[in-house]
Amino acid sequence: MQELVLTHDEALELAEPHLAAIARCPDYAWRQWEDLRSSQPAMFAELSRRTRASFIYDATIAQAKREFPGVDGGPRLVQGRGGLTMLEIAGSLRLRFKRMKPNLSTSSIMTTQQMQLNMQLPLPGLGPATVATVGYMTNVIETGIERKLIVCRLDRAVLWVIELEGELGDALPTTARPEPPREPRIGPAEGTIQVAIDESIDDR
């Protein structure tokens, strides 16, 4: 773990001026998905949740590029491996975008990069920074986004949460349910450890 992970208040101070723009990214992506789905209902009925997650990720990043062009020292997008794009704020906070489960966890293939992110370790070429996830949760029937939030984790522990709707900056109690143990398996490439999880999209 890096020596210093930002506290809730420190992260909020950095992110608060940009929270509305951050929230617009998944909102835009979901609207794009719904517009396409309503125009081609028969085709979209055959698509999987994984396809939807991929589409929303790409559209979210496209909107993030428009919201955060990285000029004049403002927030900018930085690249990891395997298609990972993160929003970097003040060089100290990096935000990734993912669909989130009710227990505040996400689905990922357990690559070396993912393990580094989980443990708040610096990524090659990027240096140390606190990593958190901008997550969106769908409603029960998956017809819209019900909740958006920023979650900072260390391994399986939730360190802090910033809600993107409601009163900004409220620290939520850490009541996320522990995740069940997951058995790693050896993937197609020799020595590559993976975890079989539905809807995994590289390290995104």
Phi–psi pair at 165, nearest 5 degrees: -135, 150
| Per-residue model confidence as pLDDT tens digits over 77-134 | 999 887 889 999 999 999 999 999 999 989 888 889 889 999 999 888 888 999 999 9
Residue-level pLDDT at 125:
85
Which regions of the chain does DSSP assign to beta strands (E)? 76-79, 85-89, 93-99, 130-138, 145-154, 157-163, 185-186, 193-194
Residue-level pLDDT at 172:
40
Residue-level pLDDT at 165:
75
Residue-level pLDDT at 3:
61
Contacts of 14 (CB under 8 A, 6+ apart): 6, 89, 90, 92, 93
Average pLDDT over residues 130-152: 94
**The CA-based dihedral angle spanning residues 128, 200, 7, 155, taken in that order and rounded to the nearest 10 degrees:** -80
Give the domain ranges of the chain: 8-194
